[in-house]
């Protein structure tokens, strides 16, 4: 009885008979030969069925196999330079688990909409495999980064009673005859947790009902948000650059094959190491005005403006101290200039846009109450949030990193929708 192994491990079994269980990726035939490309989720290997060395039944089954049919193959691992993997299987036995019907995804090109309609099947293809594995590595490395620095994981609720930032459009749900909203950020709860545990992070899905139809937007996306007590904006940026460096270097180290599948130019990732440039909003405006003279000082940056800034540098750039007016109510004002907030955005290189948004939070009770009133937010709903400033308030800061934008940048793919297994956009709720 041959040992059941995964394809990625075949090198350890050279010359031995093994059993592989998987799906037919592709088939080529030539008279008395059948070349079966078998995938099992770990790798793809070519299995050679020669009419002269198997029973007529086995050869007939090899002939019947259609694309994506499930089957169990037993054969001898043999080294072969002609094979892409370096090894192939000389088949002795083949058992059909199920003959697949006509498979919708062919070997030629398809349009995005068609592929997204078949997302449940598209995930079987090489490029999608590579992307989802890189996503996995980014998430694994993200958790590793915070876990190894003694941050406590404190997950925050998905259902929330009110808008965290007031302005953004939220998904509304009926919560036993009350209105509840799907969270757009765990931050406010993260602040409460930071006052309890010191350093914390939360990681979960967030929801935005914005009618955005660009390659950088999803209505449901994943965000990892650290929050740190006794932390100022500069220290916040220190953590952010160490964090992003760790993500990039982990993918380079552990997912190099996947980056190759995606034909990513890794030279652009190698130099992602601290220090990242940090520029004041006013410096950023000077840079933008050279190329976009119409830019009005005090405005937030548009997508084109962000690209102008990120193009100046070979690594992510952090822009800090934005005008308070364009930023959220909870951000602390710059003591040097009250018109600016102690905020920072990290812009990824190569035009991928904002991957991090963070700030030092307002820790003064009266100042925060004033902000809440200025923004016409329901005071009562924020009573608990104000409590945090009443009972042992300390300087604190944090940020949120969008997983999908980060993966798109590291993987070098244009659109965020392929970086999540089942994307949700304004026009996509199926499958």
Contacts to RNA from residues 345-404, by CB under 7 A: 345, 353-357, 400-402, 404
- Counting contacts by CB under 7 A, is residue 116 touching RNA? yes
Mapped onto helix, strand or coil, the DSSP state of residue 333 is: strand
Please state whether the peptide bond connecting residue 320 to the residue before it is cis, i.e. omega within 30 degrees of 0. no
CB of 117 to RNA, least distance (A): 8
Backbone angles phi, psi at 406, to 5 degrees: -65, -45
Residue among 21, 124, 127, 415 that touches RNA (CB under 7 A): 415
C-alpha closest to that of 402 among 422, 424, 426, 419: 419
> Which conformational region is residue 191 in: left (phi greater than 0), alpha (psi within -120 to 50 degrees), or beta?
alpha
**Pairing of the two strands 317-320 and 333-334:** unpaired
CB of 84 to RNA, least distance (A): 6
Q: Report 273-312 residues binding RNA (CB under 7 A).
A: 300, 302-304, 306
C-alpha–C-alpha distance, residues 34 and 59, integer Å: 8
CA 215 to chain centre: 14
- 16: which 2 tokens? 């031995």
Residues 96-115 vs RNA: string with x where CB under 7 A? ------xxx-xxxxxxxxx-
C-alpha closest to that of 342 among 231, 191, 245: 231
Sole window of 120-128, 216-224, 285-293, 308-316 interacting with RNA (rule: CB under 7 A): 216-224
- Counting contacts by CB under 7 A, is residue 50 touching RNA? yes
Toward RNA, which CB reaches closer, 349 or 400?
400
> How many CB atoms are closer than 10 A to CB 63?
12
- Counting contacts by CB under 7 A, is residue 28 touching RNA? yes
- Counting contacts by CB under 7 A, is residue 214 touching RNA? yes
Backbone angles phi, psi at 240, to 5 degrees: -60, -45
Toward RNA, which CB reaches closer, 123 or 196?
123
Residue among 6, 133, 215, 375 that touches RNA (CB under 7 A): 215
Q: Report 162-201 residues binding RNA (CB under 7 A).
A: 167-168, 185
CB of 178 to RNA, least distance (A): 25
Residue among 2, 19, 35, 149 that touches RNA (CB under 7 A): 35
Q: How does DSSP classify residue 266?
A: T
# residues contacting RNA (CB under 7 A) = 72
Please state whether the peptide bond connecting residue 431 to the residue before it is cis, i.e. omega within 30 degrees of 0. yes
- Counting contacts by CB under 7 A, is residue 212 touching RNA? yes
Sole window of 12-20, 258-266, 278-286, 421-429 interacting with RNA (rule: CB under 7 A): 421-429
- Counting contacts by CB under 7 A, is residue 321 touching RNA? no
Toward RNA, which CB reaches closer, 28 or 253?
28
CB-based burial, 118-155: b 16+ in 10 Å, e otherwise: bbeebebbeebbbbbbbbebbbebbeebbeeeebeebe
CB of 9 to RNA, least distance (A): 20
Residue among 211, 296, 335, 336 that touches RNA (CB under 7 A): 211
Toward RNA, which CB reaches closer, 365 or 424?
424
Toward RNA, which CB reaches closer, 5 or 341?
341
């Amino acid at each position: 009885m041959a040992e059941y192994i995964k394809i990625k491990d075949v090198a350890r079994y050279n010359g031995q008979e093994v059993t592989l269980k998987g799906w037919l990726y592709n088939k080529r035939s030539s008279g008395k030969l059948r070349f079966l490309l078998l995938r099992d989720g770990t790798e793809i290997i070519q299995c050679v069925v020669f009419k002269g060395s198997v029973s007529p039944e086995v050869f007939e089954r090899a002939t019947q196999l259609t694309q994506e049919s499930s089957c169990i193959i037993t054969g001898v691992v043999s080294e072969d330079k002609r094979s892409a993997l370096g090894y192939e299987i000389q088949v002795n036995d083949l058992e059909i688990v199920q003959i697949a019907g006509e498979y919708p995804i062919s070997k030629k090109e398809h349009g995005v909409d068609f592929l997204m309609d078949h997302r449940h099947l598209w995930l079987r293809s090489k490029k999608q495999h590579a992307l989802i594995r890189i996503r996995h590595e980014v998430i694994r490395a993200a958790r590793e980064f915070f876990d190894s620095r003694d941050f406590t994981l404190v997950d925050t609720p998905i259902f929330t009673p009110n808008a965290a930032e007031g302005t953004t459009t939220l998904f509304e749900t009926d919560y036993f005859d009350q209105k509840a909203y799907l969270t757009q950020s765990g931050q406010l709860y993260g602040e409460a947790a930071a006052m309890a545990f010191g350093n914390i992070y939360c990681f979960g899905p967030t929801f935005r009902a914005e009618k955005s139809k660009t390659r950088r937007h999803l209505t449901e996306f994943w965000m990892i948000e650290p929050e740190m007590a006794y932390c100022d904006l500069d220290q916040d940026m220190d953590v952010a650059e160490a964090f992003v460096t760790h993500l990039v270097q982990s993918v380079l180290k552990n997912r190099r094959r996947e980056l190759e599948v995606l034909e990513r130019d890794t030279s652009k990732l190698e130099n992602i190491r601290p220090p990242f440039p940090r520029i004041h909003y006013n410096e950023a405006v000077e840079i933008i005005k050279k190329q976009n003279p119409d830019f009005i000082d005090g405005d937030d940056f548009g997508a084109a403006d962000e690209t102008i800034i990120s193009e100046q540098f070979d690594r992510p750039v952090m822009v800090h101290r934005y005008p308070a007016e364009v930023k959220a109510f909870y951000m602390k004002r710059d003591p040097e200039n009250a018109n600016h907030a102690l905020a920072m955005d990290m812009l990824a290189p190569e035009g991928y846009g904002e991957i991090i948004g963070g700030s030092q939070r307002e820790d003064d009770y009266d100042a925060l109450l004033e902000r809440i009133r200025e923004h016409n937010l329901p005071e009562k709903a924020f009573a608990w949030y104000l409590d945090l400033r009443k009972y042992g308030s300390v300087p604190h800061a944090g940020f949120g990193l969008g997983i999908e934008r980060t993966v798109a940048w590291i993987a070098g793919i244009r659109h965020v929708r392929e970086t999540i297994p089942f994307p949700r956009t304004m026009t996509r709720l199926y499958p």
